[in-house]
Structure 1
């Protein structure tokens, strides 16, 4: 059994050392820690180099400086593909991993071979304040399988709480598009493989900022052109996953869900592009494909009032 941590950095000098220390403090040590910096212009590189040197970690901890800025999506995916561990843990630059994260997640993966993607609960960190992701329910099972539904585009957990089995990481190369976020894509592969599980144990403190790259991208979705881009990306994701199902000889419910979702997405795209209310009325047939019914009303608002 071997474990790899894949960390990406970009101008993270404020919190990166605290995160590095939390990786070093793991009760079960990673066999390799790969740190991919995407062109930091602050003191991030020097902090990482000093930490590796002062803790004599150069045999297993590697800092790689990208020759060009790849963007966080590509940086993560390429790093994950290069990892050699049986279990791969994506890592943000500014969270805090609790000491037993690796040990607990690997123990579950070793004893449950049907799991290709395991995610854990986490706490949000707003400055020094910690807030639970959701209230703990003692009635819920400690280990929960995530079932495939019509709302499979929804991703409930960030990539920093993922443990990815290496065969899933390698498989993803065949279906990945450069614009997919790693957490979105692995989550959806896990859903359609029936290999996605949640460990209900808070194993990291996940730092949240209003000005993060992810937050900015979410805000950009509040415009009609960005909505169309998101619809195109989601349609492409349908095609990628359909190729995967065909190659794996999976039929039935899984394919039907993708077909239905793709039809709904294409109709929404026509509605956004043409502003023709006929397409909006036709979307009533696909109301169940919306996670929330108010999102359907939101489409009308975006198209006619923004």
Structure 2
């Protein structure tokens, strides 16, 4: 048996489609745990209606405590061998569970399995391209790629949570879980076929977190922590490539969590001057021999930064890390 876990917070707009897509699965041996996380709209009424129609649905309803608390609560309540993630605004392909569980049954070494997705809602071809790439080197891709593994498309073996002790309180809770799983030598898989319609819209958690830079801030911290603590790259001086919002946010995170490390400069192709007491220099002015590590914090200039650094024989992860 599998356990589908779907947290809901004010999800009335797309909730019926999401629930119906779970109930219509070709694989039927599952319980469907829906956590109403203090919704103030019609979500609970919609959930209650479907509970009366299908006894596989189990409802937890209480005050708002957030996504991470809800996910952990659902995992504790789950009776299934597998944990199937589902969001209240996405739609499963009708064969999603069947395909993923068949794979896990025949690939016993794989603990966490995602799939390709189809973007719906706001048109976003770039995001779909990022999500729909093969997973070849999980640690490297989780550290260097942004959105390479779709969280709500994941199925996991429940027993991994004895080791991982659930989700931790980050806005980038998925990245944190993936990196901790990598540290425990757990194997990841990814079916190279779309099995979830992944909805992108203004009010989605990902959009809201990134609007306030919450997810980005946590991702910067988690990536730097992994490189320093798990890969043993204890750099003392660093520069940040990018003097825009990403670069400034990265320097703030580093100052907060690593105040003993020294930022020797911001690197930007178009900007010059100072950010506080930190000089902003072009790549041609910056002396790379005087810095231990580079944090690349600009998505538009990321490819150029990587090419420039590697032309100077700096290596990904060893010498520089894309954090945005």
TM-score strictly above 0.5: yes
How far the C-alpha of 1:51 sits from its partner, in A, is: 1.4
Describe the shift of the 1:47–1:194 C-alpha distance in structure 2 as closer, same or farther (beyond 3 A).
closer
How far the C-alpha of 1:147 sits from its partner, in A, is: 3.7
Deviates further, 152-161 or 93-102: 152-161
Q: Deviations over 1:224-263 (max 9, x none)?
A: xx97666555566679xx6xxxxxxxxxxxx42xx22887
SS in 1 for 2:58: strand
When you count strand as a share of all residues, which structure comes out higher? 2
Residue 37 (structure 2) pairs with residue 44 (structure 1):
no
Residue 92 (structure 2) pairs with residue 97 (structure 1):
yes
Match of 2:319 in 1: none
1:238-249 to 2 correspondence within 5 Å? none
1:285-300 to 2 correspondence within 5 Å? 285-287=292-294, 294=301
- Quote the Cα distance in structure 1 between the aligned partners of 2:66 and 2:42: 19
- Quote the Cα distance in structure 1 between the aligned partners of 2:31 and 2:237: 43
Q: Deviations over 1:7-27 (max 9, x none)?
A: 010111111111111101100
Residue 168 (structure 2) pairs with residue 177 (structure 1):
yes
Match of 2:60 in 1: 64
Is contact 1:6-1:34 (8 Å) kept?
yes
1:78-117 to 2 correspondence within 5 Å? 78-117=73-112
Match of 2:180 in 1: 189
Which gives a bigger RCO, structure 1 or 2 (Cα 8 Å, sep 6+)?
1
Match of 1:76 in 2: 71
Is contact 1:39-1:69 (8 Å) kept?
yes
Match of 2:245 in 1: none
1:130-149 to 2 correspondence within 5 Å? 133-134=128-129, 145-149=136-140
Deviates further, 68-77 or 282-291: 282-291
How far the C-alpha of 1:188 sits from its partner, in A, is: 2.0
Match of 1:3 in 2: 2
Describe the shift of the 1:74–1:37 C-alpha distance in structure 2 as closer, same or farther (beyond 3 A).
same
Residue 226 (structure 2) pairs with residue 260 (structure 1):
no
- Quote the Cα distance in structure 2 between the aligned partners of 1:89 and 1:217: 23
- Quote the Cα distance in structure 2 between the aligned partners of 1:276 and 1:79: 42
How far the C-alpha of 1:166 sits from its partner, in A, is: 1.2
How far the C-alpha of 1:162 sits from its partner, in A, is: 0.4
SS in 2 for 1:74: helix
Describe the shift of the 1:266–1:163 C-alpha distance in structure 2 as closer, same or farther (beyond 3 A).
farther
Bigger-Rg structure (1/2): 2
Describe the shift of the 1:111–1:288 C-alpha distance in structure 2 as closer, same or farther (beyond 3 A).
farther
- Quote the Cα distance in structure 2 between the aligned partners of 1:219 and 1:42: 23
Match of 2:308 in 1: none
SS in 2 for 1:152: helix
Match of 2:15 in 1: 16
TM-score (norm 2): 0.68
Q: How many residues align?
A: 268
How far the C-alpha of 1:179 sits from its partner, in A, is: 2.3
When you count helix as a share of all residues, which structure comes out higher? 1
- Quote the Cα distance in structure 2 between the aligned partners of 1:284 and 1:133: 36
Match of 1:220 in 2: 212
- Quote the Cα distance in structure 1 between the aligned partners of 2:211 and 2:124: 24
- Quote the Cα distance in structure 2 between the aligned partners of 1:262 and 1:88: 38
TM-score (norm 1): 0.72
- Quote the Cα distance in structure 2 between the aligned partners of 1:163 and 1:264: 40
